[in-house]
Amino acid sequence: MDELDLLKTIHPIWITRATQSLAHGSGLRDNLRPQFERFFELLEQAVETGDPSWLDSILQIWATSLTESELENSWSNLTVFLRDLLTLTFEICRETLPEGQALSLIGVLLPIFAHASQRIAQYEMESKISYISNQLAQVRQTLERLDRSKSDFIAVAAHELKTPLTLIEGYAAILRETMEAQKIATPASIELLTGISSGTHRLHDIINDMIDVSMIDNDLLSLSFQPVWLNRLFKILENEARPAINERRQKLEIRNFPGCNEMTFADPERLLQAFRNLLSNAVKYTPDGGNIRIDGRKLPGFIEITFQDSGIGIAPEDQALIFEKFGRLGNTALHSSSKIKFKGGGPGLGLHIAKGIIEAHGGTIWVESAGYDESQCPGSTFHVFLPIRTDPPNDPSARLFAPLTQTTHSS
């Protein structure tokens, strides 16, 4: 008898044993029996033709029929299942066929099952990769929805808060003017009204930041490009920061680096806002008496600005997190609510806004730090790359500033 006849001899025994031993439960036996019949039929075709790829079709069906729990398992269920089929087939051959015929049939079946093992592993891996890809896509969609919901909440909350805040500010101003006009204001009442005014100004800043975040997240941040000289922005920045710098006994050094006194086109208010956030961040996370330096250099087509401090530094794993909205590090319960005190708190929007403004200008921003250490204070350096624009990027401003650009180019 040839190997195909030997295989047909064990056919009924193989089907019965496979159904009984590899399918658990009567329902599963009914479902698997046609599958076993089909597998054995294809196995006969493979033996007859010498082509093991006859089994590929049913192996692929099995791989694509895996349940969700099976796809989540780290081990290979189908490979184990196929190995059990191979073991069962060899046992039946030894039990039902003479030794020589059994060895002959096993010798023919072994490379076919080896091919099947390779294919089943491939198909199962493809199914698991597809499943994981779908899961990741669902997670990404969920995160995007959450991010959109967060942005929507920020926008709605900011706009809804502006009206009552304006009322509080207005009534406080009217109350102060009335008390002063009627000469009934006392030092205590003036102090209370000053506190209300200070609080409303702080809330205005936070609300404006929330609105800016909403605009950045929805790609609605508009820029008004005008002629800008960076050294002039730095002078304004220094004057604004001087009271906080003096209070913290810090040293601020602004270097006159190449390119800072040359004209470029940018949005001066937005750039000043971004630089203000970076300097404020340096002040807050640098201990009293520390050093802060603004420096830079001119590169082909770009100008680089650096904000370097001698502060507590940033751990490598947190250096991307700080640019996310609400990206605050450390225990928030230990943070002060002051804008200038050491490790002062805040909503965690400043660096996110700075990043959005710089990127809206076509630039980029990143941070370098040796790590976080409050005792050694390794410091941090924020790098800002801005494109040098010798001409305004849009037609209306080009017409407005045409005489200035022509003078600059001719000189």
Residue type for 58, please?
I
Strand partners of residue 228:
264
CA distances from residue 314 to 164, 279, 305, 334, 372 in whole angstroms, order as listed: 38, 16, 19, 17, 5
Query: Is the full-model pTM beyond 0.75?
Result: no
pLDDT one-digit tens code per residue, 100-134? 999 999 999 999 999 998 888 888 888 888 888 88
Single out the residue of 276, 288, 278 nearest to residue 341, CA to CA: 288
Q: Which two tokens stand for residue 147?
A: 């991010």
CB 289 within 8 A of CB 309: no
Residue type for 14, please?
W
CB 9 within 8 A of CB 96: yes
Q: What count of other Cβ atoms lies within 10 Å of the Cβ of residue 265?
A: 23
pLDDT one-digit tens code per residue, 53-108? 999 999 888 888 776 666 666 555 788 888 888 999 999 999 999 999 999 999 99
Single out the residue of 376, 372, 373 nearest to residue 315, CA to CA: 372
Residue type for 198, please?
S
Question: What does the alpha-carbon distance between residue 171 and residue 40 come to, in Å, rounded to a whole number?
Answer: 88
Question: What does the alpha-carbon distance between residue 348 and residue 327 come to, in Å, rounded to a whole number?
Answer: 5
Helix (H) or strand (E) run with residue 383 in it: strand 380-387
Single out the residue of 279, 267, 295, 280 nearest to residue 363, CA to CA: 267
Query: Cβ contacts of residue 310 below 8 Å, gap of 6+?
Result: 286, 287, 290, 291, 292, 377, 379
Q: What DSSP letter does each residue of 36-70 carry, written as one string?
A: HHHHHHHHHHHHHHS-GGGGHHHHHHHHHT--HHH
Q: Which two tokens stand for residue 272?
A: 């000043």
Single out the residue of 331, 338, 258 nearest to residue 299, CA to CA: 258
Q: What count of other Cβ atoms lies within 10 Å of the Cβ of residue 173?
A: 14
411 residues of the chain, pLDDT tens digit each: 688 899 899 999 999 888 887 765 444 445 678 888 999 999 999 999 999 999 999 988 888 877 666 666 655 578 888 888 899 999 999 999 999 999 999 999 999 999 998 888 888 888 888 888 888 898 888 888 877 777 777 777 777 888 888 888 888 889 989 998 888 888 888 888 888 988 888 888 888 888 888 888 888 888 999 999 999 999 999 999 999 999 999 999 999 999 999 999 999 999 999 999 999 999 999 999 999 999 999 999 999 999 999 999 999 999 988 998 776 655 555 445 566 677 766 677 899 999 999 999 999 999 999 999 998 999 999 999 999 998 877 656 555 666 666 655 555
CB 124 within 8 A of CB 78: yes
